[in-house]
């Protein structure tokens, strides 16, 4: 059924992230993959890394060595929500973005980031989990 839902969108090919070349040319992604790649770009781009958009990004790498405590979770949740709402404007309904940050289940040394959002054009919910 998910294949039927995705066919209602125009079949536009987007460049895949990270950019790479294949035998057929640049690697491409579907719209759903493209949105997921945008989320990953926000997560792993550090603020100041992009010259013309210095405020873009969450900077997950800088949180890896921070103490895994409630104060970090709140800070990460707020920064990540703001960055995602800006980066995904038009693709995702901003009212549906949910960010959960906390320790990994049974792994207190792991920072678990779970992001849930709804694709605006499809009203389809997507979920992405990343362990740092």
pLDDT tens digits, residue range 25-46?
999 998 889 899 999 999 999 9
Distance CA 114, CA 102 (A): 9
Q: What is the pLDDT of residue 1?
A: 47
Q: What is the pLDDT of residue 59?
A: 87
User: Is the pTM here over 0.85, yes or no?
Assistant: no
- On the CB side of 122, CA atoms within 13 Å amount to 20
Cis previous bond, 59, omega within 30: no
Q: How many CB atoms lie within 10 A of CB 81?
A: 17
CATH architecture of 2-131: Roll (3.10)
The parts of the chain modelled with pLDDT lower than 50 are 1-2
Query: Where are the chain's structural domains?
Result: 2-131
Considering Cα of 96, then 102, then 103, then 109, what sign does the dihedral take? positive
């Amino acid at each position: 059924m998910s294949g039927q839902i995705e066919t209602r969108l125009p079949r536009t090919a987007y460049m895949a992230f990270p950019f790479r070349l294949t035998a057929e040319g640049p690697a491409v992604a579907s719209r759903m993959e493209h949105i997921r790649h945008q989320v990953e770009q926000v997560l792993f781009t550090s603020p100041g890394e992009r010259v013309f958009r210095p405020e873009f990004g969450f900077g997950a790498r800088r949180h890896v060595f921070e103490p895994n405590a409630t104060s970090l979770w709140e800070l990460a949740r707020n920064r990540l929500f703001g960055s995602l709402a800006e980066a995904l404007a038009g693709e995702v309904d901003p009212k549906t973005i949910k960010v959960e940050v906390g320790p990994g289940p049974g792994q207190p040394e792991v920072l678990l980031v779970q992001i849930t959002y709804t694709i605006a054009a499809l009203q389809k919910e997507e979920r992405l989990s990343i362990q740092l």
